[in-house]
Chains A and B, each alone.
Chain A
Amino acid sequence: MNWHVVWESRSVLLGGALVTLELSALAIGLGTTLGLLVALIRTARVPVLSQIARVYIEIFRGSPLLMQLFFVFFGLPYLGFDVSKLAAAVWALTLYSGAYIAEIIRAGIEAVPKGQKEAAYSLGLSPYEAMRYVVLPQTLTVALPPLIGFYIGLIKDTSLATIIGYRELIRESQSIIDRTARPLEVFTAVALIYFVICYPLSLLVTRLERRVPAR
């Protein structure tokens, strides 16, 4: 074992880790926004839009993320759109995570008893106000643990962006290995970095699940 290699490459590894964090944050933020929107369309049963939402969910949950990355990266230029590697990675991860997050949030919305909405309507709240002030806050307590669980998976899935040549953590570590021929040491360090990013989120899930929702 030669840990010296890892120490010498520390700035490259940390740079890769930051890129992974950036990609994760973008995918989580945009994917959650998209997912919330799609979930609202699905639960409100908006005609046409809700069918489109359903097809979208089925397609992106039913195909490998790797393929989706290829399709965005190679497909969009084919259609005349110029996409950077970052944009392609963010687009693919957003579309992929949006489909899963939509279903997590929808399940949370549907777990709120029907009487809650009726009480809100009977007080004169509009459908928007009922959703915003009564249903969604309760959805959050139900949906947050599975949501964070999904985020953890998503952070690890950003590593797939290496396949389109995006210089995130895995890609950077590959180039260190190419230079030093020390895969075991470098990958151990990489695994540790992913763990340091993901473990606090796991702890958060455990804490949230222990908290019994007040009812």
Chain B
Amino acid sequence: MIEMKQVQKHFGSLHVLKGVDLHVRPGEVVVIIGPSGSGKSTLLRTINYLEPIEKGEIWVDGTPVHQHKDLRQVRSKVGMVFQQFNLFPHLNALQNVVLAPTLVLKKSREEADEKGRALLTKVGLEQKAEAYPGQLSGGQQQRVAIARALAMDPKIMLFDEATSALDPELVGEVLAVMRQLASDGMTMVVVTHEMGFAREAADRVVFMDEGVIMEEGAPDDIFSNPQNPRTKQFLRRVLEK
């Protein structure tokens, strides 16, 4: 579903991705963990070309993203959820959800609305369809953002630290929606600091540091029996907290 080969990227003189290979199968849930500045968010953002790459190849569902072709088509197949939600503040929850389906998929208003309401119900916000982002809590906003991404019927969902900007008591409601999606069989790539989610929901955990993948494997192996000393050190630090 996603095929990344030797992906390289610099920010100025900073070498953020030093040749990353990643392969994601259909229906797989891959969770990327690692310290801040390890390049994991950047890696995620290259998948839908929000970050251009300098070297390497990225194939998404058969389309060569690195050639900068059919970008709109790729992006409409890849949903993305951001740390800062990025809801459109001038539109209410339902309008946020139906904007792209009506513009990009040319759906009729009625069809998009019906599907939009169904998705808001799925994330537990059917009562908030007419509320504006400013009237919603962070957790509610993030759930609307998930519904907005799902409205495009994506084949892949990307989560970029989707719970990092939330108050601790609101993290659970967003993780619950993400778990539901994972068990529905959605292909997901998740960058997170939530080790509990990684352990329970991931099919595979990828540990990144200094722009490379240091270690990857089944969650049980990574968390109970890490091989790389950097992985051990990182897990010891985050799990102590």
With a cutoff of 8 Å between Cβ atoms, the chain B residues found around residue A123 in the complex are 75-76, 79, 99-100, 104, 148-149, 152
Q: Mark B88-100, 1 if CB is under 8 A from A, else 0.
A: 1110000000011
Asked whether any CB of chain A lies closer than 8 Å to the CB of B56, the reply is no
Which of A60-68, A114-122, A152-160 touches B? A114-122
Asked whether any CB of chain B lies closer than 8 Å to the CB of A141, the reply is yes
User: Closest residue of chain B to A135, judged by CB?
Assistant: B88
Q: Mark A127-140, 1 if CB is under 8 A from B, else 0.
A: 00100011001100
Partner of A124 from the list B86, B90, B100, B135 (CB cut-off 8 Å) is: B100
- Assess whether B104 is in contact with A213, with CB atoms less than 8 Å apart: no
With a cutoff of 8 Å between Cβ atoms, the chain A residues found around residue B50 in the complex are 118, 121-122
Total interface residues on B, CB under 8 Å, equals: 28
Alpha-carbon distance A215/B136, docked complex (angstroms): 10
- How many chain A residues sit at the interface, stated as a range, is 20 to 34
- Assess whether B75 is in contact with A118, with CB atoms less than 8 Å apart: no
- Assess whether B90 is in contact with A137, with CB atoms less than 8 Å apart: yes
Dominant secondary structure of chain A at its interface with chain B:
helix
Asked whether any CB of chain A lies closer than 8 Å to the CB of B34, the reply is no
- Assess whether A125 is in contact with B103, with CB atoms less than 8 Å apart: yes
- Assess whether B82 is in contact with A118, with CB atoms less than 8 Å apart: yes
Asked whether any CB of chain A lies closer than 8 Å to the CB of B124, the reply is no
Alpha-carbon distance A137/B132, docked complex (angstroms): 15
User: Considering residues A115, A123, A134, which has the most beta carbons from chain B within 10 angstroms of its beta carbon?
Assistant: A123
List 18 A–B pairs whose Cβ atoms lie within 8 Å, in order of A's numbering: A116-B86, A118-B86, A119-B80, A121-B48, A121-B75, A122-B78, A123-B76, A123-B99, A123-B148, A124-B72, A124-B75, A124-B76, A124-B152, A125-B104, A129-B103, A213-B89, A214-B135, A215-B133
A125-B72, A214-B132 are known; give 9 further A-B pairs, CB within 8 A: A113-B84, A116-B86, A121-B48, A123-B76, A125-B103, A126-B72, A137-B90, A138-B89, A214-B134
A residues at B contact (CB < 8 Å): 113, 115-116, 118-126, 129, 133-134, 137-138, 141, 213-215
B residues at A contact (CB < 8 Å): 48, 50, 72-73, 75-76, 78-80, 82, 84, 86-90, 99-100, 103-104, 132-135, 145, 148-149, 152
